[in-house]
Structure formats: C-alpha cells, structure tokens
Amino acid sequence: MGDAARALERLVEQELGRPAPASAALLAGRIRERLGSAAAAVVFYGSCLRRQSDEGVLDFYALVDDYAGAYSRRALALANATLPPNVFYLEMASGDRTLRAKYAVLSARDFERGTAGGLLRPGIWARFCQPLLAVWVRDEAALGRLAQGGARAVLTALEQVLPLLPEEDGIRRFSARTLWQTAFRETYGYEMRPESPEAAAALYGADAARFDRAAELGLAALAEGGRLALERDAGGFGVRLPREGAARARRRWRRRRPLAKAAYLIALGKTTLTFGDWLPYALWKLERHTGARLEPSPRQRRHPLIFGWPLLARALWRRDLR
C-alpha cells in the first residue's frame, strides 16, 4: 500500500471515529439488539448525518458476520444473500419524541464485494465513499474493516466514473466537483432514485473540502498502483487512462444499467416484506425529493403488498424517463 492509499484510509477512519449523536446511538443500540451476536458494526450515513439532525428518518448500514446468524427466519437470510441488502424500518420512543430509522443489513463478505464494485447495486460503493460515522463497532478489527471498505469505495467510485468524463487528446481534465457530481448522478440513474437534478450538486456541496481531499488522495493512490497517469493543474486534475480499459468500463456501464434498474425494482418488492408500513414512508420520500405528491387509494392503503409497490415503481420509472 502506497502513501496516498494509507492517507485515504486514515481519512476514512477519522470520519468513522467522530462522536455519535445521542439519537443515533439509541437507534444503533436497538438495531444491535435485533441482529444479536452477529452484529459487527452499525454505521450512520445520509442526509440526517449531513444536516446533523434527527428530524426525519436516520439512515444506517448494519454489518454482520453472516446472514444465518443475523436472522431467526431462514427466508430473511436467503433474501439478504440473494439480493443484498435487506432494508428494515425502526421506530422507538425517546422522551416525548419518536425516533425513526431505516437500516440496511450487509454481511462482511458482501460489504467487501459491494465496496469493490462487485455487486449489481452501485449504491453500496456510492454510499460508502461518502462521509460515514461508526456509531458502534464490536472491536478494532471491525473498525479496520470499515475504514478499508470506505477507502475501497472511494477508489471504486473514481475508477467507475473516470471513463465517463470527456477526453481530449488522451487526457481527461476535470475538477473534483465534476468528478463527484458525475458519480452521484450516474448512480442515481442506476437505482432510479427519486432525486432532483440538483441533488448530486448538493451532496458534493455539503462537504466539498472532504470530497476534494478524497479525490486527491484516491487519484494519487490509483496512480501509485499504476491504474492511471495523473497530473495536476490550476483547474483540478488531468488523467490518462489505459485506452482499452476505459472503453471496457464504458461498455460495462451500458450493459449493467438495465440489469441494475431491474434489481432495484426487485429490491423494492423485497423491501415491502421487510420494511413494515412502507408505503406512506416511500411516498413521503418521493414527495420530499421531487415535489410530486402521490395519494394512494384506499385499496392501496389496505393492501400495500398487492397494490402499493406498483404505484411507487411506476412513479420512479416515469421520473427516470423525464
């Protein structure tokens, strides 16, 4: 491992080690109780972390040793292994308030594969390349795996998006802002997420200095490993990629896009079995991100497993096609 790669891992480890808000710690404790001794870490991420707020629904990833040990029901373990992650909803009282969270469950093996870009869902590396907070870790080994995975997710994000950037005379010139906004915009498209066009810009802008530093260290680490040739200029970065490798990466993006969208729709259907009262939450989130308000019919409210999720899938599909 070169100097830049080690510095990137230290950056991620420092982010993970920040103090956790009390509300996040309470919710993480309840998640640990649900998963039992299989739990290795509970990681806080997303908009509530960026806003330093517990208003809304807090987002977590829960890492487990394996799925069989995390669930008492074999069907849940099988579903998690077949199309990771499983996503669950959690509410708990705190004084006179109600805290809300959703958490995704990943095994150590799928965490490693997902942050390396080996799973069909790019949302895994797209989330773990962002600032994270380890609310709870079982031991130093679990913290080390988290830091390695976060650093690996940054490298995966860079390698995935670089071939998509414009090239002139064999060089791709770009700023860190362009790099990260392209990465987030492309992964939103893969997952058909209900995000406005400004969402990628806002995500970068929430912690621009951190993303700039992660880009600098990540690109240097890839250069150290011989994956690209790197130069710096006043406008940002200049990168030369192996020509055949870049062409292959672009073809892979095109081929995987429809498969990833199909996986996302299947995952939505699976989430209806794990999430609980998912339809009001999903429609609230859609409205919050797009401004589009959808009212389910009485029949959809009574029977969301049958009639509710097609409404959501149709809305997401139309959003993606516009």
User: What tens digit of pLDDT does each residue of 256-315 get?
Assistant: 666 666 666 666 666 666 766 556 666 666 666 555 666 655 665 555 554 555 666 666
Within this chain, do residues 141 and 285 fall inside the same structural domain, yes or no?
no
Q: pLDDT tens, 49-61?
A: 999 999 889 999 9
Whether 260 maps to a domain, the answer reads: no
Tell whether the model's pLDDT for residue 121 goes beyond 80: no
User: Among 197, 222, 254, which residue terminates a domain?
Assistant: 254
- Average pLDDT of 10-25? 97
178 has pLDDT over 70: yes
Tell whether 261 is covered by a domain: no
Nearest to 119 by CA among 159, 155, 75, 84: 84
Owning domain of residue 298: 277-321
CB 88 within 8 A of CB 71: no
pLDDT (average), residues 18-33: 97
Residues 189 and 304 in one domain: no
Q: Is residue 270 part of a domain?
A: no
User: Same domain, yes or no, for 240 and 289?
Assistant: no
What was the pLDDT predicted at 188?
78
Would residue 138 count as lying in a domain? yes
What rounded mean pLDDT belongs to the chain?
Answer: 85
Please give the residue that has the higher pLDDT: either 56 or 210: 210
Q: Which residues of 273-288 are buried (b: 16+ CB within 10 A; e: fewer)?
A: ebbeebbeebbebbee
pTM for the complete prediction? 0.83
Q: Of the residues 222, 254, 286, which one is the last residue of a structural domain?
A: 254
Domain count, the chain: 2
178 and 54 in one domain? yes
In a domain, 269, yes or no: no
The mean pLDDT value for 43-48 works out to: 95
According to the model, what pLDDT value does residue 68 have? Answer: 96
Task: Report the pLDDT value the prediction gives residue 138, as an integer from 0 to 100.
Answer: 97
284 and 234 share a domain?
A: no
Residue 248 has pLDDT above 80, yes or no: no
CATH of the domain at 98: 3.30.460.10
